[in-house]
Every structure is written in C-alpha cells, then in structure tokens.
Amino acid sequence: MDAVTDKLDGRWGIKDYIGTVMCLLGIRRKFYKQNPGLYSIGNPDSKSPVFVTANYKYSADVLRRALKNTDAWILVIDTKGINVWCAAGKGTFGTAEIISRVNKTGLKDTVSHRTLILPQLGAPGVKPAEVRKNTGFSVKYGPVEADDIPQFIKNGFTADRKMRTKQFRIPERLAVSLTHMVQGLLPTAAIALFFVLVDFLFSLKGNSGVTGFLSINISASLGALLGGTLIAGALLPLLPGRAFSIKGFFISILFALFFFQKISSYSSPLFTLYTGGKILILAGWIVYLVLNLTGSSTYTSLSGVKKETAISLPLVAAGSFAGLAMIITGGILL
C-alpha cells in the first residue's frame, strides 16, 4: 500500500519553470514524470476532494498550481509519463490503472466520501461504472482547463458550458508545433546533409551543374521544417481539407512553388529533374510533420488518425523514393 506519498506545494519554483520549458522543447520529455501515488496539497482532511491526474509531470504541475489555495488530495496514476489527453487515447489513463492506484493507496481509508474528480480530457479512457464497481468511488469530470478548477469548486464542483469547451488557440498550437520542430531538427539536418553529399558526389565526376547550392539545400530543409511545424500549427484552422495530410500537401505545394522560383535562373530540364527530386522529398517531409500534429489537436479522433496514417504514409514513402530516383537520374545525366 502506497499511502500518502508526499505533500505538494501549489507554487512553482525555478526548477518547475525550467523543466516546463525543456519539456516544451522536447528535451528529456519522456523522463519528465511525477511518481504515481497519493499526494496532499494544503491541509486536506477526510472530506477534502480527490483530483486525479497523469504522472506526466507537467500535467501534475498544472493541477497543483490550480489547487494552490485549496485543501485537496491529488491521485497521480501511472500513465507512463504521457499527458492526460494522449494517455486517454492510448489507454494508459484508463480504468484499470485508476482502480489499481485507488486500491494501492488505500484511498478508502484516507477519505470519507467516494468521489474522484477526473480531468474531462481523460474521459475517453475511463469506464466510470467499472471504477465504481471495483473501488466504490464514483467519477465526476472536472473542467477541461486546470485554470478553471477554482471556479469549478466555487460552483459546487459543477462545470458550466465554457468549462466543457476546449479551445485550441494559436499560442497552444505554436507550443505543440515548437515541440515537434525541435524533435524534427535532427532528421531535417540529416536530409540537408544527404543533399549536400549528393551534390558533392556528382560534382566529382566534373559536373559543375550541381555545385554551389549549399545554402539552398540548408534553407530549403529548414523551410520544410518550419512549414510542417510552426507554420502548419499557426494556420491549422485556415488550411483547406479535413485530413492533416491534405493540409500538409497544401503547404508542400506552396513550399515547392517558392523554391522552384528561387532556382528558376538555373533551369534546364535535367536540373529541374535533379532539384525537383529534392523538393519532392522535402514535400513528403512536410506532410509527415503535419501528420504528427494529429495527436495534439482537437480536430482528430484516434480512429481517424489511424485511418489517415495508413493511407498517407505509404504515399509519402512512395513520393520520397520517386524523389530519390529523380535525384540520381538527374545527377547522372547532368
């Protein structure tokens, strides 16, 4: 039995802010965890409310900050370091883990009531009837945003319509996109390096038509990274199509037009073939990056993501192989 693990402070320290920034940048994100268990905040007693959250530390930190002026219990369940929303979709913020953690911590002996307050975004992974059957605790869903919890408590633990609505504003989309951008830096650098090496190898056979494009290789690769992350995130609701692959395709078309225009002064059929292969690979990279945003959006469902991924990824792979064939053919014949 875990019993009460520790007392939490609702105030954030410098380590919490640094950890949050590192987390948003994707640095050691999978290690950013809160130990599962039952925690106290303020001076709770047996009648104090019990809030449930994931062991992704940022999720736990946001909750404890919202409860800084409240006497409450926080039950942290083991979601493998994944946030509430994503964990609910993956099944780690789910019925079995809640039942297990309630029983392990001896929550029945700590509180006299039988209510667990869960984040609304965790609802897809939870079966309240099974939780009640196996623990004796009923499930109540709190607001979508942790910042609304103080008002939720004032309302008698009732969420109004606004608290049940999730907005996906530009700052939130950019925060998600920034994480994806950092995660995409190394693959993007690898793509740029591949283009530079290809140029170098074909230049060894005396082909001057493929030299002098170091800056274009780098800028095009970085442009693809920005297009598939920050630009896609900022413009997400405005981009045409429901499918993320279609949104990514639209950005890749604009990207291709821009860089074809940049190299138009070097144009020849074979050079167009050679450079077009690079652009085709980068266009596929853009679509792939935009597809990665599906797991961090209010616009998708798990079944929809699986279906779209199954259709889109083979097309992205086929386009990349076609781009590689264009590069090799154009480089040999130039």
Task: Say if residues 230 and 181 touch (Cβ distance below 8 Å).
Answer: yes
Least confident window among 117-126, 173-182, 228-237, 289-298: 289-298
Residue 246 carries which side chain, given as an amino acid letter? I
Is the per-residue pLDDT at 3 higher than 60? no
Q: Average pLDDT for residues 246-250, to the nearest whole number?
A: 93
| Extended strands (E) in the chain | 4-8, 37-41, 50-54, 72-77, 115-118, 138-141
Q: What is the pLDDT of residues 171-185, one digit of tens each?
A: 888 888 888 898 899
**Highest mean pLDDT (candidates 63-67, 235-239, 263-267, 291-295):** 63-67
Least confident window among 146-150, 212-216, 242-246: 212-216
Q: Average pLDDT for residues 79-84, to the nearest whole number?
A: 88
Predicted pLDDT of residue 300 = 63
Predicted pLDDT of residue 331 = 82
Predicted pLDDT of residue 1 = 45
Q: Helix (H, G, I), strand (E, B), or coil: what is residue 321?
A: helix
Is the per-residue pLDDT at 51 higher than 80? yes
Q: CA dist 275 to 199, 249, 278, 286, Å?
A: 10, 19, 5, 17
Is the per-residue pLDDT at 42 higher than 80? yes
Which residue would you say has higher pLDDT here, 25 or 73? 73
Q: Average pLDDT for residues 310-334, to the nearest whole number?
A: 90
Q: Which domains does the chain have, with CATH numbers?
A: 4-164 (3.40.50.11600), 170-333 (no CATH)
Predicted pLDDT of residue 4 = 59
Is the per-residue pLDDT at 299 higher than 80? no
Name the phi and psi angles at 126, rounded to 5.
Answer: -120, 140
Task: Say if residues 40 and 8 touch (Cβ distance below 8 Å).
Answer: yes
Is the per-residue pLDDT at 160 higher than 70? yes
Is the per-residue pLDDT at 2 higher than 60? no
Task: Say if residues 56 and 82 touch (Cβ distance below 8 Å).
Answer: yes
Q: How many other C-beta atoms can be found within 10 angstroms of the C-beta atom of residue 237?
A: 10
Least confident window among 4-18, 125-139, 164-178, 209-223: 209-223
> Mean pLDDT for the chain?
87
Helix axes 269-291, 214-226, angle to 10 degrees: 30
Per-residue confidence band for 5, with pLDDT thresholds at 50, 70 and 90:
low
Predicted pLDDT of residue 77 = 95
Predicted pLDDT of residue 202 = 80
